[in-house]
Amino acid sequence: MQAASGWMGITGSSVKSVKTDYERACDSFSYLNVIDSNMSKILILGDEPLASTIFHTGHDFTIARWISCESLMVSEIALNDIPIGLPEIEKSVSMHIYEDESIIFDSAAVLHESEDEMRVKINPGKYEITTELFDGGHRFKFLIHRLRME
């Protein structure tokens, strides 16, 4: 968590930039981006804010982001059976994770003041992170980010 501890959100920059950390995060026009913060890297989930969840899938992790879904029951059924080989909708990114706990938080927040965050235990190592579209027609649509250890 030391990696994200210096994140300043809308109040300043953790890397002495003219732009705030939030502005630097918003400069990302892709679904995934990796930017500097303090003495480490931060994974940015770009586009608009979407409800998200993260869960283990074997030795890897999956972040599911809701675009649309007709009900909670449909989302639970769909996310319990995410197919392998979904179409990747942009180039994957690589990121080294050095700590065994990571935090998902709103990029506008100052991390040490934020109450709206998710914490996850994750094995340190280098990960390839993909962005895939899981489209169930009119019933649901999710962005799927798979974190696979390289």
Question: Tens digits of per-residue pLDDT, 48-107?
Answer: 888 888 888 777 899 999 999 999 999 999 999 999 999 999 999 999 988 888 877 777
> What proportion of the chain, given as a percentage, has pLDDT over 70?
93
pLDDT on residue 64? 94
CB distance 125 to 96 below 8 Å: yes
**Predicted structure pTM score:** 0.87
> In this model, does residue 36 exceed pLDDT 90?
no
For 142, other C-beta atoms within 10 Å of its C-beta total 27
Contacts 24+ apart (CB under 8 A), 20-23: 21/107, 22/107, 22/108
CB distance 127 to 102 below 8 Å: no
